[in-house]
Structure 1
C-alpha cells in the first residue's frame, strides 16, 4: 500500500508487480476510523478509471474501525463491494489481517 494519507489524495493497493486498485481516503477520524473509496485500477503502470470492469465496482467503500469491546480494542472492517468481487477481497483481507494480527501481538 502506498498513500499520501490525505483526504481526497491517492492511495494504491498493489501487488508485487505494481498492479491493483487506485483509491482515495474518503474520511479519517484518528485514531478510530479510516474510510477508503475505490476509484479504479492500475495495471502495467496505467491507471484505469473508465473501463466497464472498473465501473462495476468504482465507488465501493472500505472502512477500518477501532472499537472498544469490553475493555479491549478490536479492529472492525466493513467493505461495500459487489458479490462477484467478494472472494477476491476476502482473500486479500485474510492475508492482510493476519499480518496486522501478527504485528499487533508482537
Structure 2
C-alpha cells in the first residue's frame, strides 16, 4: 500500500470548503474528476457507512472514522459494491480493505489548506495521482464561487 498526499490552498473559510466538499450537489460536481455521475449515500455522521457510487451502482463502501465539522473527515474503506449491493471481501478487496482516505482542513486568515492523505494499492496509484489534483481544483473553484 502506498500513501499519497495532495494539498491545495483555497481562498475561502474552512466552513465554505467543507460545504464544497460534502454538500451533495457540490460533492457530485467535484467527484466528476474520478467518475462522471458519481455520488455518495450516507448520513455524513461519524461511525456511519458510506456508499461511494457510480450511476450504474458500482463503487465501494466505507466507514466515517472521524468527523470534526470544518476540520476533518476520515474514511476507512472496506469493500466493493456491485449493483448497489455490498460485496463480501475477496482476495483483491482484502488487499485494500482498511485503506484510509483523510481530508484535513486548516484555516489561516481566510485561506484554507485542504490536505488529502490516502492509502492506495500500486494498481490505482497512477490513476489517483492524475485524478485527485483535478478533483481538488474543482473543490477550490466551487468553494471560491460560494465565497464570492
Please, what TM-score do these two structures have when normalized by structure 1? Answer: 0.85
RMSD value over aligned CA atoms?
1.9
Q: Mapping of 1:39-50 within 5 angstroms?
A: 39-50=78-89
Distance 1:88 1:21, change over 3 A: farther
1:34 aligns to 2:48 (yes or no)? no
Determine the C-alpha separation between the residues in 2 that align with 1:6 and 1:86.
Answer: 28
Question: Which residue does 2:125 correspond to in 1?
Answer: 86
**Secondary structure, counterpart of 1:105 in structure 2:** helix
Please, what TM-score do these two structures have when normalized by structure 2? Answer: 0.63
Structure 2: 5+ residue stretches without partners: 1-39
Q: Compare the two structures and name the one with the higher helix fraction.
A: 2
1:17 aligns to 2:56 (yes or no)? yes
Q: Which one has more relative contact order, counting CA pairs under 8 Å at least 6 apart?
A: 2
**Counterpart contact for 1:62–1:77, Cα < 8 Å:** yes
Kindly provide the CA deviation profile for residues 27-52 of structure 1, in whole angstroms up to 9, marking residues without a partner as x: 11222111000011101222113111
**Counterpart contact for 1:39–1:49, Cα < 8 Å:** no
Determine the C-alpha separation between the residues in 2 that align with 1:96 and 1:12.
Answer: 19
Q: Compare the two structures and name the one with the higher strand fraction.
A: 1
